[in-house]
Amino acid sequence: MILNHSPGARRAFFGGHILRITSRKAGLAGLALVGTGALVLVGCAPAPEDNGGGDGASSDFLPCMISDAGGFDDKSFNQSGYEGLLQAAEELGVETKTVESDEGTADYAPGINSLVDQGCNVIVTVGFALSQATVDAAKANEDIDFILIDDAADNDFDGTIDAEGIKPLLYNTAEAAFLGGYAAASTSTTGVVGTFGGQPYPTVTIFMDGFKQGVEYYNETKGTDVTVLGWDGSEGSFTNGFAAGTEAYNTAKGLLDQNVDVLLPVGGPIYQSAATAIRDSGKDVALIGVDSDVYESDPSVADLLLTSIQKGLKVSVYEAVLAAGNGSFDAAAYVGTLDNDGVGIADFHDWTDKVKPELAAELDEVKAGIIAGDITVESYLAG
């Protein structure tokens, strides 16, 4: 089953900005910690004399990226995008520079501006918390290409992009989450499944919306009554952040205490706290990951994973950066769907023998129905 999706967030921040700025040549790094309110740049080796096989790429082309909170080793959202950047850089035979934003960042503009000052030709900004700073930088630097993940760069909500030169990468994860919800309902033995998120922003709740709709579709077609806890379509359970910790653990535990036996945490590393809560409960509970195939990115929780709801972040970032490097950058928005393999769900891996034998075939049918338009999945990115 080939089935291909944490969010950045417009959150209230406190304190100064703490950034780590990194220079890499095809994946080799040096890190520098930067104190509050200051930026320290890491030197880099000279650019290679040839393009390493890149088709049409200049040897001095410099692709760059700034993360959202969670960093490039979050085993999720930021990491997937970062891997796409490195893949493109390796193919082009060029270096990269990155800025890593920590939880509590007050202002992303200094990080983006530091990349501008270092001569970056394309800057990837990871998460819609960086949207306004990306728009401001694009307006001030029309010679630089920008790639914005998980936001349309429409901060005044008038239906048009706020600055030229920005390519939005968007993912209709409700479609993939619909499949995840169907699989959760099929697998549950208690008849209760649950979800919770970091903060109630569209790139979080789009997972929860699709998950809920998938459970409801399963109930409709199977005559069952599986209940979804943690999201009713407008209100739900949120940790008010995107870091693993006590709040995420307690939120997960609260759902487990209500007989939930399939759990979808949406918000980067918060799944790690959910996994701890599952182990502490001593119950047979399945975990669903988000963004990447968490079975592959985090083996410590592999045994718990029913599946993962994925965004094609790595591939879409790779393709957009490669296009910029080859002089064919296109600022048209990309929307990942089931139809173009931009979103999907991962294999069942260790749960293959635990799910119903007919589930994989049923999911293929549901996927085909969504692509054909016979099954409607409501989403702010639909249509």
- DSSP for residue 114: H
Using CA atoms, how far residue 353 sits from 2, 182, 307, 357, in Å, is: 17, 17, 13, 8
Rounded (10°) angle between helices 173-187 and 202-222:
40
Sign of the torsion angle spanned by Cα atoms 27, 30, 35, 38: negative
pLDDT in tens, 49-100: 333 344 555 679 999 999 887 778 777 778 889 999 999 999 999 999 999 8
Spatial separation of the C-alpha atoms in residues 105 and 230, rounded to whole Å: 28
Fold (topology level) of 174-311+343-372: Rossmann fold (3.40.50)
Tell me the pLDDT tens digit for each residue of 240-267: 988 899 999 999 999 999 999 999 999 8
Supply the pLDDT for residue 284.
Answer: 95
- Among residues 100, 39, 110, the alpha carbon closest in space to that of 70 is found at 100
Do 19-171 and 174-311+343-372 come out as alike in CATH topology? yes
Domain residue limits, the chain? 19-171, 174-311+343-372
Low-confidence ranges of the chain (pLDDT < 70): 1-58, 103-106, 383
The SS3 call for residue 148 is: strand
Look at strands 343-345 and 305-311 and give their pairing.
antiparallel
Question: Looking at residue 106, what is its pLDDT?
Answer: 58
Residue range 144-157, pLDDT digits in tens = 999 999 999 999 88
pLDDT of res. 79: 87
User: Would you call 42 exposed, middle or buried from its count of C-beta atoms within 10 A (0-12, 13-18, 19+)?
Assistant: middle
| Distance, CA of 258 to CA of 338 (rounded, Å) | 32
Token look-up 């790779």 returns: 318
pTM of the entire structure? 0.81
pLDDT attached to residue 56: 54
**How confident is the model at residue 236, as a pLDDT?**
97
Nearest partner of 55 among 93, 112, 18, 28, judged by Cα: 93
> Can you point out the beta strands (E) in 110-191?
122-126, 145-149, 166-171
CA distance 228 to 219: 11
- Domain spanning 19-171, CATH architecture: 3-Layer(aba) Sandwich (3.40)
CA–CA dist 316, 158 (Å, integer):
26
The whole-number pLDDT of residue 105 equals 55
CA dist 51 and 38 (Å) reads 33
Euclidean distance between CA atoms 334 and 312, whole angstroms: 11
- Number of Cβ within 10 Å of residue 310's Cβ equals 28
